[in-house]
Structures are given as structure tokens and as C-alpha cells.
Amino acid sequence: MSDLIEAPKRTSELVVERMEALIREGEWPVGSRIPAEPELVQRFGVGRNSIREAVRALEHAGLLAPRRGDGTYVRSANLFVAVMTRGATTELLDLLQVRRALETEAASAAASAASPRGVRTLRGLLESAESAFGRGDFDQYDQIDIDFHAAVVAASGNALLVDIYGGVLEVMRSSHAEITARLRSSATHPIGHRDLVEAIEAGDPAAAAAAVHSYLSEAESGLLR
């Protein structure tokens, strides 16, 4: 046991924790305006400075967003999503890195556990995505491709992984179009997706993981071009 004594938290840090809980638990839903400063002072029983510091911290984290002349609104209930949806190239690359970690594990597990029905679902989504990409319907492609990746993770049979990937899917819905736009110079559906389905169907975890690395490397290259 460590003999180190932890310093007590500042009042503003305690307010941040409580506000995060209110957002996470849905009392302050996404899109809603949080109470005005005097109400927050009364509710938490702290000074105005502590409230202001807490609100600024949550704005910096991306959970809250000020609107001039109209108060402060809840921007996101998910810290990961709040940080990643800012859209800079470096943050999109970070997203791909997170996807690489999660999707590699999911693909390997799916190759070991996927059912014939799961494989049929993946093939159907793949064919629909390829068709949409080929005819230039990129809005539809983005939606189908996101569903495809969600189905790969679901095929892993790992409920916790599915839950964690849910936050990634939320970010993907706001950023996938930008990544796709940078891949349009290639004439075909991004490399690796068909290889992934075939590896899962063949029950080959190593090949499934390699396919994930292939299509995410292509996406990374597209962002850096």
C-alpha cells in the first residue's frame, strides 16, 4: 500500500464530475441548454468561480458548447466522441488508429466465431456498398459501409467490444464522408473489404486481421494525400 497522500480535489473538479454525470445519465440530454449560472450556484452550493471553471473545462473537452446570447448547450454525452468529432486530419488519423485496434480484434474473433448467417449478412452489405460506390452514390455508400463495419464487430460475438465500438460508430457517422471523399481517386471499392469477408468465411483469423490493416492503411494514405 502506498503511503502517498492524495491532495483533495478542487471544488471545480467536483462540479465537473457532477455535471458529467448529469450529461451521461440523460438529465441534461444532448442538444439541451444547461441551467443558467445562478441556478447552478444554488443547485451545487458552490461559488460562481467554481461553476465558471467547471463549465469552461467541459467546453474545452467538447461536452458543452456556448451559444452567444443563448446560454450553454450539451454538445455530446460521450467524451471520446466529443474530442474526435472536431474533424482535423490528425484527429481522423487518431480515429483510424482506434478502429485498427478494435476492428483487428473483432475481425479475428469473427473469423473464429461467425455463423453462416453472419457471413451472408456481411456479403450482402459488401455487395450493396460496392454497388453504391461504383455508381458514385457516396452518401448511400457511407451509410452501408458503416453498417458493414458494425456487422463485422457484431460477428465477433463479443458484447463488450460491440458496446465500445458503439462510440466509434457515432464518430464514423460524422467523419466517414470526409474519408470517403479522399478515396474517390481510386476507381474501385476500397481494398480489403472483400478479402475480410472471405477470411471470415474461411475461418482464418490472421487473414481477417491482415484485411483490416489493408483497408485502414488505404484510408490513412487517402487522408495524407
b/e per residue, 67-105, with b = 16+ CB within 10 A? eeeeebebbbbbbbbbbbbeeeeeebeebbebbbebbbb
Judge if 197 and 159 occupy the same domain: yes
Reported as a single tens digit per residue, the pLDDT across 10-26 is 888 899 989 988 988 88
Lowest pLDDT segment from 90-94, 180-184, 209-213, 217-221: 180-184
pLDDT at 51 (0 to 100) = 94
DSSP 127-171: HHHHHHHHTT-HHHHHHHHHHHHHHHHHHTT-HHHHHHHHHHHHH
In a domain, 6, yes or no: no
Reported as a single tens digit per residue, the pLDDT across 120-143 is 999 999 999 989 888 888 888 888
pLDDT at 126 (0 to 100) = 94
Residue 142's CB is within 10 A of a number of other CB atoms, namely 22
Name the band, by pLDDT with cuts 50, 70 and 90, for residue 78. low
Judge if 90 and 193 occupy the same domain: yes
Contact assessment for residue 129 and residue 141, using Cβ atoms and an 8 Å cutoff: yes
Contact assessment for residue 179 and residue 101, using Cβ atoms and an 8 Å cutoff: no
Task: Give this prediction's pTM.
Answer: 0.62
Residue that terminates a domain, selected from 41, 60, 77: 77
Residue that terminates a domain, selected from 77, 106, 125: 77
Residue that terminates a domain, selected from 39, 54, 77: 77
Residues 193, 205: Cα–Cα separation, whole Å: 14
Helix axes 11-24, 48-61, angle to 10 degrees: 50
Judge if 196 and 166 occupy the same domain: yes
CATH of the domain at 158: 1.20.120.530
In a domain, 94, yes or no: yes
- Count of alpha carbons within 13 angstroms of residue 44, beta-carbon side: 25
Q: Which one-letter DSSP state was computed for residue 66? A: E
In a domain, 2, yes or no: no
Q: Which helix (H) or strand (E) holds 23?
A: helix 11-24
Name the band, by pLDDT with cuts 50, 70 and 90, for residue 101. very high
pLDDT above 90 covers what percent of the chain?
A: 42
Number of structural domains found in the chain: 2
pLDDT at 213 (0 to 100) = 92
Judge if 182 and 208 occupy the same domain: yes
CATH of the domain at 53: 1.10.10.10
- Mean pLDDT in the chain? 84
b/e per residue, 200-209, with b = 16+ CB within 10 A? bbeebbebbb
Q: Which three cell numbers stand for residue 57?
A: 473545462
Residues 100, 106: Cα–Cα separation, whole Å: 10
The better pLDDT of the pair 15, 219 is held by 15
Domain that holds residue 64: 11-77
User: Is the per-residue pLDDT at 81 higher than 50?
Assistant: yes
